């Protein structure tokens, strides 16, 4: 095993120990020195692993005392939705405007443009290789080549194991939101974070959906609103929800999953921007930890490559694929075949992931300067 990956092994082992209650809430983790000796690694390797656990809300650090487990997937589910002290403890969302220096500092992110020369070279190669085929219509779900490239990428980079048949290609996330309303219908309520990106609510409303606005607190949606709501579909942006900048903690993510199971509901996980996390590893997605086929994963290339790429994708749980095709399969895929072939080549050839890694390194360096 490469030394620069050993911290991920420690992270995953301790994370599993926390989830399975080997380390229960409030338990003190072994010190970095003890863990380093136990795992036969350096102190810096353990420090990196503990930093990841801190970032994702599994543990907390107490000065001169060590690291303690704060993850809990029991109390938050059994708590009464009406307990005001729960709401107060979680804290209100900051009203800092998104354009302020404080907000930019918290986000600590600046996009680095995707290489134009690589993009242009790929376009030329696709035109040369495929010729007139690039003008043909795409199947409803999108080209198989692109859906396979996305499923392979998600498996190796995001721990999301899916088949190409579960992937749907669309012209932007808003287009996919509309398909979600077509699939689930207008006779149910849809839960939306408040505050949230305004277009999310507008697209659902344009489709005739009834909305319930759910207040965000410091760790995600207020548990009182979540458990007292009547929605059957919950639309969330668990990583740095805009404009609040709130990121759902590990406990809150599992609370969302518990909600979906107990209420026979579904979660739309809007994963815009999380690939550019400043963390040393990719963000943990709800889809990757969902064991009950309750999460629909949505992402877009608008942020990762550029606004000129009007293409997004949605990953359905297996149990929804047939229903989705029956309700929306009459539509044509709005993304041109040429664009899909170019994206498939960028992902399959490694250029896409090299760009992601380059931006993440930049953001880590910039984030350390901001702090």
**What does the block give as tokens for 190?**
């849809």
pTM assigned to the model: 0.80
Query: CB–CB of 298/270 below 8 Å?
Result: yes
| Confidence check: pLDDT of 96 > 50 | no
Query: CB–CB of 150/347 below 8 Å?
Result: yes
C-alpha dihedral sign at 336, 342, 348, 353? negative
Q: What is the dihedral of CA 194, 198, 201, 206, to 10 degrees?
A: 160
Q: What is the per-residue pLDDT for 265?
A: 97
Q: What is the per-residue pLDDT for 92?
A: 52
- Average pLDDT, integer, range 281-305: 93
pLDDT grade for 74, boundaries at 50, 70 and 90: low
For 287, residues 6+ apart whose C-beta sits below 8 A from its C-beta are 160, 269, 295, 297, 315
pLDDT grade for 259, boundaries at 50, 70 and 90: very high
Share of the chain above pLDDT 90, in %: 60
In this predicted model, what pLDDT tens digit does every residue of 159-192 receive, in sequence order? 999 999 999 999 999 999 999 999 999 999 999 9
**What does the block give as tokens for 279?**
């963390």
Q: How are beta strands 266-270 and 167-170 bridged, if at all?
A: unpaired
| Confidence check: pLDDT of 78 > 60 | no
């Amino acid at each position: 095993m490469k030394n620069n990956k050993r911290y991920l092994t420690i992270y995953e082992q301790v994370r599993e120990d926390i989830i399975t209650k080997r380390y229960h809430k409030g338990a003190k983790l072994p010190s970095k020195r003890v863990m380093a000796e136990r795992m036969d690694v350096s102190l810096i390797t353990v420090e990196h692993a503990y930093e990841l656990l801190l970032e994702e809300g599994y543990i907390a650090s107490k000065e001169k005392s060590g690291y303690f487990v704060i993850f809990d997937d029991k109390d938050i589910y059994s708590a009464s939705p009406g307990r005001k002290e729960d709401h107060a403890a979680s804290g209100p969302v900051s009203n800092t405007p998104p354009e302020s220096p404080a907000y930019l500092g918290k986000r600590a992110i600046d996009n680095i443009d995707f290489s134009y020369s690589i993009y242009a070279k790929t376009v030329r190669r696709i035109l040369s290789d495929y010729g007139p085929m690039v003008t043909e219509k795409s199947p409803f779900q999108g080209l198989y080549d692109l859906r396979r490239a996305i499923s392979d990428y998600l498996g190796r980079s995001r721990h999301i194991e899916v088949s190409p048949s579960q992937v749907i290609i669309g012209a932007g996330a808003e287009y996919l939101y509309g398909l979600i309303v077509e699939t689930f219908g207008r006779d149910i309520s849809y839960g939306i974070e408040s505050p949230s990106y305004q277009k999310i609510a507008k697209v659902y409303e344009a489709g005739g959906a009834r909305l319930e606005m759910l207040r965000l607190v410091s760790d995600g949606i207020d548990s009182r609103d979540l458990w007292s709501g009547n929605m059957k579909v919950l639309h969330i942006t668990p990583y740095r929800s805009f404009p609040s900048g709130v990121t759902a903690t590990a406990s809150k993510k599992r609370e969302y999953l518990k909600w979906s199971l107990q209420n026979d509901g579904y979660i739309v996980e809007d994963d815009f921007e999380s690939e550019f996390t400043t963390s040393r590893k990719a963000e943990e997605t709800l889809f990757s930890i969902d064991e009950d086929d309750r999460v629909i994963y949505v992402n877009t290339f608008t942020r990762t490559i550029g606004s000129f790429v009007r293409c997004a994708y949605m990953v359905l749980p297996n149990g929804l694929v047939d229903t989705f095709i029956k309700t929306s399969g009459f539509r044509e895929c709005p993304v041109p075949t040429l664009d899909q072939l170019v994206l498939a080549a960028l992902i399959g050839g490694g250029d896409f992931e090299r760009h992601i890694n380059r931006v993440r390194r930049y953001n880590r360096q910039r984030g350390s300067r901001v702090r």
